[in-house]
């Protein structure tokens, strides 16, 4: 069924929302490889042999904290966002754990930082789920969505009260606009907006994009993502609600009905 979901997804997306894909600078589907489906060729390179497993759509990359597995994408101007820029980072995640200490509580989906000698102030941006007391309703029991921004001299983290509280699949996204100082988080269609209060300056850097890990200023991995990531997409604009992947791609259950209907249509026409 998941194979049919991917086939039907390709057909569906190809004809539904061109606007939702025109500003995409990275789109990793993780269907058995790290190929970028955007026009910018931002393919990934796996570190410590990450594997693939059943995803929300097709396959997903499966990162194990114990194996310090992650993905790097070489520096590319398409992935840099400086003063006045806007961007959206989104995808589906399935956590295997929430983390229990400072050493594994910060699970980065994507951050524009890598290598030795780079403190978090050198990070252009980062999107993560983090266990901690950042104003969430559970007081740190589960994982909140977070956005980290930096300009080379300083950085600030902004944390949503939206929390992942189980190990099921969840859609997550963050949209940011530097002109209006606005960030909007989304978890499974529920959103929370920081309107005019996200004032940390941002600056582009010449560092790689890291997916699934956080590095300290010595280049050592100190926080690792533990779970699966699917359909990771970065766009160079603050996407409209209707252009987010959650509103572009049908839910798997809906897809299953579409597959059944499609197969029934074929069978009906063959009998005619």
- What's the whole-number mean pLDDT along residues 31-48? 97
Report pLDDT for 77: 97
Predicted local distance difference test score (pLDDT) of residue 141 = 62
Which structure tokens are listed for 95? 């956590």
Residue 270 lies in a domain: no
- Predicted pLDDT of residue 101: 57
In a domain, 20, yes or no: yes
Number of residues written out for the chain: 272
Q: What pLDDT does 130 receive?
A: 87
Band (21; pLDDT cuts 50, 70, 90): confident
For residue range 224-267, list pLDDT tens digits in order: 899 999 999 999 999 999 999 999 987 665 444 344 444 444 44
More confident residue, 3 or 184: 184
**Any idea what the CATH number is for the domain that residue 214 is in?**
2.60.120.200
- Does the pLDDT of residue 103 top 60, yes or no? no
* pLDDT (0 to 100) of residue 131: 81
104 C-beta neighbours (distance < 10 Å), count:
17
Domain annotation covers residue 33: yes
Domain, as residue range, for 67:
2-241
Tokens of 204: 């582009």
Mean pLDDT of the 74-100 span: 94
Question: What average pLDDT does the structure give for the chain?
Answer: 85
Nearest to 10 by CA among 31, 26, 24, 25: 31
In the block, residue with structure tokens 């798997």: 252
248 domain-assigned: no
For residue 204, being part of any structural domain is answered with yes
- Identify whether 52 is part of a domain: yes
Give the 3-state secondary structure of residue 86.
strand
| Residue 175 belongs to a domain | yes
**Strands in 98-169 per DSSP E:** 106-111, 125-131, 143-150, 155-164
- Percent of all residues in the chain with a pLDDT value above 90, rounded to a whole number: 66
Instruction: Work out the average pLDDT over 53-80.
Output: 95
Per-residue pLDDT band for 4 (boundaries 50, 70, 90) equals: very low
DSSP-H helix ranges across the chain:
2-14, 245-248, 252-271
Model confidence over 128-184: pLDDT tens digits?
Answer: 998 865 555 555 567 899 999 999 999 999 999 999 999 999 999 999 999 999 999
Asked if 184 contacts 196 with a C-beta cutoff of 8 angstroms, the reply is: no
Q: pLDDT confidence of 223, banded at 50, 70, 90?
A: confident
Count the domains in the chain.
1
pLDDT value for 115: 81
What is the pLDDT confidence band of residue 48, given thresholds at 50, 70 and 90? very high
- For residue 80, pLDDT over 90 is answered with yes
Pick left, alpha or beta for residue 196 (phi over 0 → left; psi -120 to 50 → alpha; otherwise beta). left
Cβ(154)–Cβ(121) under 8 Å?
yes
Question: Is residue 205 a contact partner of residue 124, using CB atoms and an 8 Å limit?
Answer: yes
């Amino acid at each position: 069924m998941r194979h049919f979901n991917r086939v039907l997804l390709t057909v569906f997306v190809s004809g539904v929302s061109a606007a939702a894909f025109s500003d995409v600078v990275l789109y990793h589907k993780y269907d058995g490889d790290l190929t970028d489906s955007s026009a910018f060729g931002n393919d990934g390179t796996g570190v410590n042999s990450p594997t693939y497993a059943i995803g929300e759509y097709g396959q997903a990359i499966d990162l194990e904290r114990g194996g310090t597995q992650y993905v790097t994408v070489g520096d590319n101007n398409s992935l840099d966002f400086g003063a006045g820029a806007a961007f959206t980072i989104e995808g589906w995640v399935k956590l295997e754990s929430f983390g229990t200490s400072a050493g594994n509580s910060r699970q980065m989906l994507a951050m524009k930082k890598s290598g030795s000698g780079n403190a978090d102030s050198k990070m252009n941006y980062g999107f993560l789920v983090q266990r901690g007391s950042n104003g969430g309703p559970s007081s740190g029991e589960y994982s909140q969505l977070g956005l980290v921004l930096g300009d080379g001299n300083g950085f600030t983290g902004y944390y949503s009260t939206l929390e992942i509280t189980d190990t099921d699949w969840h859609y997550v996204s963050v949209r940011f606009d530097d002109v209006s100082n606005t960030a909007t988080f989304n978890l499974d269609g529920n959103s929370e907006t920081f309107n005019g209060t996200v004032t940390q300056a941002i600056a582009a850097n010449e560092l790689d994009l890291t997916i699934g890990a956080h590095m300290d200023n010595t280049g050592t991995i100190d926080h690792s993502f533990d779970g699966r990531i699917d359909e990771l997409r970065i766009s160079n604009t603050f996407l409209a609600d209707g252009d987010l992947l959650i509103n572009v791609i049908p839910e798997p259950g809906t897809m299953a009905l579409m597959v059944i209907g499609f197969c029934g249509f074929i069978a009906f026409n063959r009998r005619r």
